[in-house]
């Protein structure tokens, strides 16, 4: 689990979980900043190889094989 501060509120943290087995970046956050955090998750996906080298040096993981999982669509949010 990785916590990111957001520029919505300096005290607001967003949890991002990277599931290596299922190859999913799961976002757990307040719905009104979904679009902002999707940008963060895209950046995170690009950074995964260097992060994984430290966490799992014997395992290579192609970051393009990861998908970004949005929070439930039933939760109201700004944007699409």
Q: Give 10-residue mean pLDDT values along the chain (80 residues).
A: 53 63 65 58 64 53 58 44
CB atoms within 10 A of CB 60: 9
pLDDT for the residue numbered 73: 47
Question: What is the model's pLDDT at position 29?
Answer: 56
Distance CA 55, CA 70 (A): 24
Q: Is 19 helix (H, G, I), strand (E, B) or coil?
A: strand
At residue 21, the pLDDT reads 72
pLDDT of residue 72: 55
Q: What is the pLDDT at residue 77? A: 38
Tokens describing residue 77: 């949010």
**Using CA atoms, how far apart are residues 4 and 35, in angstroms rounded to an integer?**
14
pLDDT for 76:
39
């Amino acid at each position: 689990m990785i916590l990111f501060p957001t520029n919505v509120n300096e005290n607001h943290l967003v949890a991002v979980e990277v599931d290596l087995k299922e190859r999913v970046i799961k976002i757990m956050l307040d719905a009104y900043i979904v679009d902002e955090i999707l940008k963060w998750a895209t950046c995170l996906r690009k950074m995964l190889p260097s992060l994984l080298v430290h966490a799992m040096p014997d395992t290579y993981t192609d970051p393009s094989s990861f998908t970004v999982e949005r929070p439930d669509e039933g939760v109201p949010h700004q944007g699409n």
